[in-house]
Every structure is written in C-alpha cells, then in structure tokens.
C-alpha cells in the first residue's frame, strides 16, 4: 500500500490539476535565472520541478543534525525503499543550511533566530514555486521554553505573537515598517491536536507562541551575561504572557507564520517545551530525556503525514 501511495505522489498531475503560485514578487518573472544562493541551487543549474515537484510536506527545524535525523525517521515511518542512513544533503555545497528529500517530504534546517529562518524561507518558497509544487503543508518543528506547562509538552501554535503579545511581525523594508499577520492555519492545528490524541506519551496543547529576538534578555532569563531586571520582574512578565494565551517561547515563529500567511501557504508550528520558565531558566534535564522530548514533535508530524497519505487510519 505504501509503495502505491508513494508512486501517486511522484505523479502530482494524477492528484492535482491547477498549480498554485505562492510567491508575491513580480520581479521574479523578469529574471532569466534565479540563484538560490544559500541552498546552492538555481533554476538554470538544476531541474527543480524534477527534483522537488512531488513535495507535499515540508518540515523545517533549527538544527542540521536534527533535520537529518528527522529525514531518516520519516524514511523509516513511510517504509520507503533503500537505506535510511544513506539520505543525502542536497545543500552539501554550502554550509548555511542542510536539506534532505525523502519521498514527498522535504526536511530542512533553518538555524537560530528570525534572520536565519527568514533567509531560508525566502529561498524555500521560491524553490517550491519554481518546482511547481502544489497543495503542500509547511511545518516548523523544534524546541521551546514552556510558560506554565510541564517539560515535554508539545505546543501547536495558535497565533505567533511578538514580545508585546501582538499577533504580528514587523519587517523594516526600505526604512518603513511593514506589519504582517501571524495567524496560522486553524484546520491544520486542530488536525495535529487530534493526531496527538492517537499517540502515547505526546501530551499536546494548542496555544500562542511568543517569538523573541534572542535567547537571554528577550526571554526574561536571569542567567545571561547581561541582566537589568529582577526575579519578580521576570515572573510578572511571564504571568502577563500566560494570561494572553502564550504557552511557549522561541525565536522563529513570527516570521515563519507571517511569510507563510502572506504567501497563502498552509503551515503549523509544533514545538516541545524543555522546561517551565516559571520554574527556572537553565535546562538541566538529563540528555537522554531531552532527546526523547525533542522527538515528540517529529513523532506527531510523522503521524500527521502518515494519516494524510492513508498509511494509518
């Protein structure tokens, strides 16, 4: 059954008829060649429709090693032919990002923070456009700090909010501030929550995710090289965040949500909490436990993918 489904995904014309254009840049139509510099790919040097045209699920995460592990994991979960240890980094010609393609799934690293993921997203969205991909879903899977949640809880983002708890992302363009909405696809979020109820040991909630510009001061940590606030100041800020619906904190969700929404791409952010920030700032959980926590978003998204492919009921 799996091989039959995978064959269908390698023939997108069987399933879909009308391509969807996702980029919002008229200048691309006038370019003879588009070089995706940070991927080491290009429209003249590579046959992008042949390489990526059947992609239906794109999963991005910060760590290159983690996204390679996810590629190997999804290879095994989809029971694809070949050795999962032989997945190849498509971006091996550059040291900026790593990319692995496993059947209809693309697994890509994005580094840490808004600048790094935004560069990757620009080139990823153009890649999917040039490859004429249609009806795909984009996931960010990663880790985060919990706000009022136990460590190991998976948070499916409802809205990505900034440090003022606003569901928006501000981008400075030519000296002017452009504000974009950061609401994510409600249907995908609910489907992920349903999937979590079918799994063991993947506690999951839907909540807002706060995106900050750094790991220390921006997230109210007391253990950085710089700190100008008290323990009570920190706790009061976290209480305000919790009361507005924030359940976790990370550093990429606002630009991810804003760019996906602007380009009409269905997307979801799925991050596990490594600690409850009300209880402390440093991550002291044993390594083997952290590894299991980090696998929970992967397990949840893999189950979602298998259900969409009809591999599980």
Burial class (CB in 10 A: 0-12, 13-18, 19+), 203: middle
Backbone angles phi, psi at 223, to 5 degrees: -115, 20
Whether residue 254 is annotated as binding a ligand: the answer is no
CB burial of 178-193 (b: ≥16 within 10 Å; e: otherwise) equals eeeebebbeebbebbe
Q: Is 296 annotated as a binding residue?
A: no
Cβ atoms of 71 and 107 within 8 Å: the answer is yes
Annotated binding residue 194: no
Q: Which two tokens stand for residue 190?
A: 């609910």
CA distances from 114 to 70, 86, 111, 153, 191 (A): 22, 31, 9, 23, 27
* 96 is annotated as contributing to ligand binding: yes
Question: 206 forms bridges with which residues in the sheet?
Answer: 156
Angstrom distance (rounded) from CA 170 to CA 118: 12
Is 140 marked within a binding site? yes
Instruction: Determine contact, residues 247/210, Cβ cutoff 8 Å.
Output: no
143 annotated ligand binder: yes
Alpha carbon dihedral 215, 221, 222, 224, in 10-degree steps, equals: 0
Token pair recorded at residue 142: 């990663």
**175 marked as binding residue:** no
- Distances, alpha carbon 248 to alpha carbons 10, 277, 297, 299, 301, in Å: 37, 9, 14, 19, 18
Please state the residue numbers annotated as binding site for phosphate: 96, 140-143
Please state the residue numbers annotated as binding site: 96, 140-143, 219, 221
Please state the residue numbers annotated as binding site for substrate: 219, 221
């Amino acid at each position: 059954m799996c091989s039959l489904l995978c064959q269908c995904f390698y023939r997108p014309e069987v399933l879909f008829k009308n391509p969807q254009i996702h980029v919002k840049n008229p200048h691309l139509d006038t370019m003879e060649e588009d070089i995706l510099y940070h991927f080491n790919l290009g429209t003249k040097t590579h046959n992008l429709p042949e390489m990526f045209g059947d992609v239906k699920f794109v999963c991005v995460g910060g760590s290159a090693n983690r996204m390679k592990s996810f590629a190997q994991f999804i290879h095994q979960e989809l029971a694809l032919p070949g050795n999962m240890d032989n997945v190849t980094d498509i971006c091996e010609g550059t040291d900026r990002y790593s990319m692995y393609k496993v059947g209809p799934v693309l697994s890509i690293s994005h580094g840490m923070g808004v600048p790094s993921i935004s560069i990757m997203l620009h080139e990823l969205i153009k890649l999917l456009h040039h490859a004429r991909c249609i009806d795909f879903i984009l996931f960010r899977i990663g880790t985060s700090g919990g706000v009022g949640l136990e460590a190991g809880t998976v948070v499916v983002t409802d809205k990505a909010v900034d440090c003022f708890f606003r569901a928006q992302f501000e981008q400075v363009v030519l000296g002017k501030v452009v504000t974009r909405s950061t609401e994510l696809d409600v249907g995908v979020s609910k489907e992920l929550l349903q999937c979590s109820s079918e799994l063991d040991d993947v506690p999951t909630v839907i909540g807002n995710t706060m995106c900050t510009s750094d790991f220390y001061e921006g997230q109210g940590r007391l253990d950085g090289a710089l700190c100008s606030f008290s323990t009570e100041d920190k706790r009061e800020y976290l209480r305000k965040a919790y009361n507005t619906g924030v359940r976790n904190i990370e550093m990429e969700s606002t630009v991810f949500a804003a760019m996906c929404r602007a380009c009409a791409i269905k997307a979801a952010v799925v991050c596990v909490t490594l600690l409850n920030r009300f209880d402390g700032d440093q991550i002291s959980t044993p390594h083997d436990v952290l590894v299991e926590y980090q696998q929970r978003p992967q397990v949840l998204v893999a189950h979602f993918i298998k259900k969409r492919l009809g591999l599980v009921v």
